Amino acid sequence: MYLIYEYIDGNSGERASRICEIFFDDLSHRARYLESILKEELDIFKDKLVQLEERSGLFDSSTDIQLTPKAIALLLQSKDKNKKQEFKAQFTKHIKFNSLKKEIFLDERVARDINQLKDVCSSKNFNKIVKDLKKANLPSGIVSIFYGFAGTGKTASVYEIAKLTKRDVLQVDISSIQSKWVGESEKNTKAIFDEYYKACEILKSKPILLFNEADAIISKRLDVNDAVSQMNNTMQNILLEELENFDGIFMATTNLIDNMDDAFSRRFLNKIKFDRPTAKTREHIWKSKLPELEDKIYEKLSIYDLSGGQIENVTRKYLINKILNQKEFDFDEILEYIKEEISFKNDDNSLKVGFLK
């Protein structure tokens, strides 16, 4: 019952030792009950209603005890069906699909790949695809990675798929799950997936689990020579295990694909590369950011080899200065902002390109 209250409050579980402290004053009773928990001898373990998290050893009393998916399903069935249960994100950022408004522009090849993935994730096709994959004894998770230059629309493409398929996004930023406390980062990694499956039970449509800027957790595993290396490797092993049996929609973004561990490469069904946008795509992006200009201006601006993110930065600086100084359109000013954006990254290829006069 205590774990049920914890679950309702949004907590994934409680330490085994803490539960014994709450219910038993006598130390000998605590010790016996803790031993029964750690050996999984209680009936609630045999009935598969509770489970222990991964632990360093048989008698690791710091491990959490938590409800199993079976127990959660029974709990949800017992609730008033007319009462909608609210999902509360703890380890992820919950982004509702109807809050995603931003328009994106992609090159033809990338747009084709993203559109196909969108069709896979659509309510019309998703359930049938999953059912057929399971029937063929194949992994049923739709696990994808978007990789390439920064600012080219990787995260925005995940949002676009979510918006078009009416699926919420549970976004994970890796830095937010890393902890200085021994074992906590590993527990947080496991808790993310528990939270995702909980969301699948509550939300109307199965959400997208997004590991944004996942470079740190999918890079090649390190030789273990300190606690940090051990932590990173353990987090990676947990992620690999979860992806192996994943049931849902998982997407990750990264700028550093060359450093990705081969074990992760095998688990990604879809690998979509994002290059810098072509001149034609850059022209569309400029038009969307500064719609009041003449076509010949867009042609001039599109010559510079900028990413979508860089174009957005230039536009923001230009509009802020325009408001502060109440100025009319100034082409030379935009050029200065473009050069600043390029020189900041020392992008020689972009600087070699001139402007049409």
194-241 pLDDT, tens digit each: 999 999 999 999 999 999 999 888 887 766 666 777 788 888 899 999
264-309 pLDDT, tens digit each: 889 999 999 999 999 999 999 999 999 988 999 999 999 999 999 9
Q: pLDDT averaged over the chain?
A: 85
81-120 pLDDT, tens digit each: 545 678 999 999 999 999 998 889 999 999 999 999 999 9
- The mean-pLDDT minimum among 67-71, 129-133, 181-185 falls in 181-185
110 occurs within a structural domain: yes
pLDDT category at 168 given cuts 50, 70, 90 is very high
User: What pLDDT, on a 0 to 100 scale, did the predictor assign at position 10?
Assistant: 64
Q: How many CB atoms lie within 10 A of CB 198?
A: 23
Q: What is the helix (H) or strand (E) element at residue 212, kind and residue range?
A: strand 208-212
200 occurs within a structural domain: yes
127 occurs within a structural domain: yes
Residue 129: name the closest of 249, 242, 244, 209 by CA.
Answer: 249
Q: Of 274, 307, 340, which marks where a domain is finished? A: 274
Number of domains in the chain: 3
Structural domain boundaries, residue 333: 279-351
310 occurs within a structural domain: yes
pTM given for the model:
0.71
* 189 and 117 fall within a common domain: yes
* 343 and 255 fall within a common domain: no
357 occurs within a structural domain: no
Torsion sign across C-alpha atoms 28, 43, 3, 235? positive
Distance CA 357, CA 352 (A): 16
User: What pLDDT, on a 0 to 100 scale, did the predictor assign at position 219?
Assistant: 80
